[in-house]
Structure 1
Amino acid sequence: MENGKTETAIFAGGCFWCTEAFFTDLKGVEKVTSGYIGGTVANPTYKEVCTGTTGHAEAIQITYNPEEVAYEDLLEIFFATHDPTTLNRQGADVGTQYRSEIFYTTPAQKASAENFIKLLTDQNIYEGKKVVTKISSASTFYPAEEYHQDYYAQNSNQPYCQMVITPKLDKLKKNYKNKLKQ
């Protein structure tokens, strides 16, 4: 899935409105697409995925330049912006579609994800809680409906965005200032 200078990373870490917002402003990230992956239904809709019966996770596909941002940096942001110790949920969002999962597109990404989770575990970052993030080979990624793309940028005043996304985004901007686009 490499294309010249860009590579693709795919992460599921709860609601894709949230995860998309965290990666859009990172240096080296060229595009972030919200969508669905890991299920059994071709071309699923948001309504279908929300039932939890398609097997898909809400996820983001990140197109990035590895010369500007390392995959390990993307992993660091991924783990810093969601709770990888809760199975099939993030906050109030509950169901398999909100699971924590890394969909690797290369063997190197798989190895990096495994090493990162081992490091988090060895350093007891989550104070005894087990990291439940799955690592899976990327299957077909289906872009979500257009109104889900750039959701936070277009709806930042919406109550869900204000309560859930904005505080996390503020923390991200404070802690990762040097990794953000100017």
Structure 2
Amino acid sequence: MKRLTIFAAVFVAVLAAGCDSESRPSEPVRQRVDAVKSTVPQNDIPANWCDRLYLPPTQGPLVSLPPLDPARRLASGKFVWLNFWATWCKPCVKEMPLLARWQTLLTGEGVPFEVLYLSVDEAPAELSAWLKAHPEIPAGQAARLSKVDDLTTWLAPFSLGEASVPIHALIGPDGRVRCVRAGSLVEGDLRTVRALAR
């Protein structure tokens, strides 16, 4: 009788251990799941630099370009920096050579990076004349919003309020928004742009 009692106790203990191992995942599985993190180093992105920052990048919304003249599409497989600007906006004009230089630098570093200069000028002639006077900005990377109001519509999901140009948005190679920023840029911002384009 004593042997039967001991056997029963051992059987129940083994059964309980088996059920417990099935109900809780093993420790290594939890660690593998927790290890899936963004490759974007957050410490290289100053707080509030982006008005809207999406990390990990897969959380960003998929976007397409607003209606443009001439028509354009987002380049697939590239980081695309959208620069919303106007010929009458002095801070916009001041930073445009900076953006052109960043494109050259990042491309030289092996980052597939392109800047699109999207003007909110109402008259096509204003943009054409400005581009002719500024050959450092590739005309093939510039376009005008078909309607100025389209910018407000495009920006609506990002809740920027009454933001005015210049406005910037970085789109990842997957077509998802990584960062939206209202306000001008300075030379020292290149480090942050590098961190975002990873």
TM-score range, shorter chain: 0.3 to 0.5
Higher strand share: 1
TM-score (normalizing by structure 1): 0.33
Bigger-Rg structure (1/2): 2
Higher helix share: 2
